[in-house]
Amino acid sequence: MPGADLLLLLYFTLFGMGLGALSGLAPGIHVNTLAVLLIISAPSLSPFLEDFCSSTDCSLPPALLLACTILSAAICHSFLDYIPSLIMGVPDETECMSVLPSHRLLLEGKGMNALLAAAQGSLVGAMAGTIVLLPLPFVHVQATNALDLIAPTIPWLLLGVPFLLFWAESGKADPKAELDMRGGRITPAEMISLKRHFPVHGDSARVIGYVHRHHGIWYVQTRSQSFRIRGRGMTAGDRTLIGRWIVRKDRLPIVAWSVLLFLCSGVLGVMAMDGLVPGENIWKGVEGNMLMPLFTGLFGLPLLLGSSRGRLPEQEAEADPLPSVTGALKGSFMGGLVGWLPGVTATAGAVLSTMLPRSRGGPEEFISTVSAVGTGAAVLGLGTLLLIGKGRSGTLLAMQEAMPALSVSDMPSLLLCILFTSLVSYILTLRLGRGLLLRAQGRDLTRLNQGALVGMVILSFILAGPGGLVLLTLSTILGTFPGKVGISRVHLTGCLLLPILLYYFAPFLR
């Protein structure tokens, strides 16, 4: 590549990184929004770009430079967007065990550990994706044929994703112990027992307590615990019960909530994509895109509302060395799946990656996995775009619109853009994140969170009009439920998966 071409490519890559840094650090501004704005302004920019390229003797097509700008913005965004989610989503200390692993580390003063894990995961995801894409110019025909063969299975793979998410969530159900008295013995209570029981399924049990009936079900109440009794012939009073423990997970409530949230968010997604939001016809806003208020309400505002009174604890200035890149490699693998399957988000890919063999990496490994999925999907999705002409994200679709003739021959320029952006973004994430963490430690972030909340509401109105505010309100209400019922927000990705599933399976439903 001539020196002038290389220099110009780096200039446009840096410009895209600036846009990605803006969208990554500013809550509520998604990189897809910037990509759409670039596409809208592309017709007016094209004459300027053509004149600029001709005056600098650049042989690269102007559309390729615009595509590199969008790609670098997406990758830089995937690195830096972790910083505001880490700092601004601070809960009360009493809610420490119910928040995300990154916030748990933050409350322990180990925010730098979380930051390093996220940066490392994103870097490994980008590097792994680049390695996979390197041989693409030599095997693109075979790879295209393979994807064409696998393409008919996409609807069925997507159909399996929600069920895998429900199954993964059901494993988080708390175990409940019952006392099996079928074949057991009952004697009068010998003495008051202060013993605390730790039931193990199938083990023999000897419980001293008060037996009583509630709504037709028998229970034994000790000083500090209560157990349901299975068996007949119970009578109320102080008793010594000798039987066996039954310990099982009550999966039904948590699965029911997961399915309900998936379906409700899916209905909101259908409303947003099919123009069924009340008030949308009054004024569609600047962009008319209902996905921004939808995602903001489901995943952004509930976190800010729940953390409006948080105070950031003192943070350690340096991070502990991370043990391995196992989590990042798992995330990179799932990133390839996310980059290929439409509607599967990085969070869903991260949850699915937990089903792979685990290592003892702690919360840092999970953070690294999630970050690798997001960046890996952004990079590997480029391969899907080049091979079959289908982008799986807003930025890739914007690249396709900016340069419809994008092909495998443009791969060297795109890979150079990816490598440069990833390395610089890794350094930026650690430097900016460390500075912001140390500056914010010990401070009450109430005003910052409230300002971000107001900014999201105003931005939703500007971009989507009155209908955007209606959808923002509905999605925010729904987005508060996962925290209240104690399940993962990943089931709210039904807002994307359900409309896509309906699109694929609509012919079978007619």
- pLDDT digit string (tens) for 24-51? 887 656 666 666 666 666 666 667 777 7
Give the pair of three-digit tokens for residue 21: 């840094």
Query: Which 3 state secondary structure label does DSSP give 226?
Result: strand
Token pair 């990656």 in the structure block, residue: 353
Residue 158 · residue 341 · CB < 8 Å: yes
For residue 31, give the 3-state DSSP assignment.
helix
Per the CB < 8 A criterion, the answer to whether 295 and 464 are in contact is no
pLDDT at 97: 32
Angle at 171 between CA 168 and CA 173, to 5 degrees: 130
Are 361 and 112 in contact by the 8 Å Cβ rule? The answer is no
pTM comes to 0.73
The sign of the CA dihedral 275, 279, 282, 287 is negative
* Residue 204 CB contacts under 8 Å (≥ 6 apart), including other chains: 242, 243, 244, 245
Top-confidence residue, 474 or 133: 474
Let me know the angle formed at the C-alpha of 64 by 58 and 68, rounded to the nearest 5 degrees: 110
Residue 443: in which H helix or E strand, if any? Answer: none
351-362 pLDDT per residue, tens: 666 666 655 667
Are 339 and 133 within 8 A, CB to CB? Answer: no
Q: How far apart are CA 483 and CA 7, in angstroms?
A: 49
- Retrieve residue 91's tokens: 């809960």
**Phi and psi angles of residue 212, each rounded to the nearest 5 degrees, phi first:** -150, 165
For 10, 198, 410, the CA distances from 406, given in Å and listed in that order, are: 19, 63, 7
Q: Is 232 helix (H, G, I), strand (E, B) or coil?
A: coil
Compute the average pLDDT of residues 321-338: 77
Query: How does pLDDT run across 442-462, given as a tens digit for each residue?
Result: 777 777 778 878 888 888 888
The answer to whether residues 355 and 90 touch, using CB atoms and an 8 Å cutoff, is: no
